[in-house]
Amino acid sequence: MGDITLSPEEIERLFAIYFEQFHSYFPILDPEKTPTQYYDASKSLFWSIISVALRSYKQELLDDVGSVLSTLVWTETGSPQKNLAGELRYFVVIQKSSNEAFQALAQLNDNPALIGQEASFFARMVHYEKVLTDIDALYGIEMSLLNRIRSQGSILYLQLLYLLSNSDLEETKKGILRAYRTSTTLIQDLIAEETISTFLAGAPFTVLRLLLRAAFTIAKVWFSELGNHIDRTSGKILYDASALLVRQMSHLKTKSDRANRAGTAMNMIWKHMAKKPDLMRQPPSLRIRSRMGASLQYDCLMHYRDAAQEAAGQAETASLSDIGDKSNAATMRPNHTDINHEQSSLPSYEAFLDTDLSWLDDLVNPLT
C-alpha cells in the first residue's frame, strides 16, 4: 500500500497478533479466514487489521500506514452498509441513542451552563436515561465487554448533566447520586472481569476516558455534602482501583506514557481535593461549565493543574534551600574529594513537575 511493503511472513505474523490480542474488542471478524481472503474482500479492512496489530509489532510503521489507510477508507465509504454484525450494531445503537439525547437536551437553551434551569430539563433527562438504561438491560448480556462499558459510559455521560443544574432541587441530587452509582458499577464490572489485565493491555483510548470519567464522578460526590449519602470507604477503594486499572493500560511502561501520567494525575487530584475540607460541606459544583457532559473532566483537571503548580513551587523552593544549605556547609568545611557522593545525596523531585499538559487533551473528549 503506497510505499509500504510487507513480506508474506510479516503479514501472517501481524494477522496472528491481531486475532490473539485485539480480536476480543471487536469480535466480528473470522479468525479462520486467511490474509489473502481479507485482502480480496476489502483492502481497507486488510490494512486496518495490520495497522492495529502494528501497535504490538512495529510502532514506527503506524504513522506511514495510518496516513495511507485514512485516504483508502474515505475512498471506500461512499455508501454505508445496511447490514451490520452484532457488536458493531450494538455500538451504533448506543452512539445513535446518546447523540439523540444530547441533541434534544442542547436545544433547551443555547447556553449549556443554563440547561438545568429549564422546566423541561428533568422530564427529558428521565426519558433519555430510560432509553439508554433500557438498551443496556436489553442487550447487555449479549454485548462484548467493550460495548458494555460503552453502554454504561453513555448513561454516565448523560447523568453528569445534572452537575450543570444550578438548582438545589431533590431531582438534581438524585440524578447526581445515580451518576455515582453508574460510576461504581462500571468500575466494579471491570474489576470482576476475569481477563481484565489482557483486556486493558490493548483496550482503545475510549476505555481510558470512561475510567477517568467514572473515577472523577466518585471524587466529585465524595468531596461534597452528597458524600453523606454514599459509602465513602467503598468509594475511596473504587477510586484507587480505577487508578490502578488506568495504569494497566500503559503500553510503554514509562513515566511519560499517557496512561501512567493519567494514573499519577488521579492520585494528585484526590490529594488536592482532600486539602479542601470546605468541599464536603457544599453541594457538588463545577468551575468549568461549558463542556456539557465533559465539564466534570475539565473541572477535575483544574485540580490537577493547581496541584502540579503547587508541587512544582514546593520542589523549586526545596531545591533552592538545599543548594543554599550545601553552599554554606562547603564554605565552612570545604571538601572536594567526594563530589559524586555530594551530588547523589541531592533530593529528587519528579512526581508532578509536568508543565506540558497537552497530553491531557484527549482525556476529556466526549464518548466516541
b/e burial code for range 138-167 (CB count within 10 A of at least 16 → b): ebeeebbbbbbbbbbbbbbbbbbbbbbbee
What type of residue is 93? V
Residue 293, C-alpha cell as written in the block: 457532559
Residues 6 or more apart from 315 whose CB is under 8 A from it? 349, 353
Crossing angle of helices 121-139/86-106, nearest 10°? 180
Residues 6 or more apart from 203 whose CB is under 8 A from it? 25, 146, 249
What is the full DSSP assignment across 85-115? -HHHHHHHHHHHHHHHHHHHHHTT-S-GGGG
Residue 64 φ then ψ, to 5°: -65, -45
Q: How far apart are CA 232 and CA 223, in angstroms?
A: 9
**pLDDT tens by residue, the chain, 368 residues:** 666 778 888 889 889 999 988 888 878 888 899 999 998 888 888 888 888 888 777 766 766 777 677 777 666 655 555 567 778 888 889 999 998 888 888 777 555 555 545 667 888 899 999 999 999 999 888 899 999 999 999 999 999 988 887 667 888 899 999 999 999 999 999 999 988 988 898 888 889 989 999 999 999 999 999 999 999 999 999 999 999 999 998 876 666 678 888 888 899 999 999 998 898 998 888 877 666 666 787 788 888 888 888 877 765 555 545 545 444 444 333 343 332 333 332 222 233 333 344 445 545 443 33
Residue 264, C-alpha cell as written in the block: 499519577
Query: What's this model's pTM, rounded to 2 decimal places?
Result: 0.68
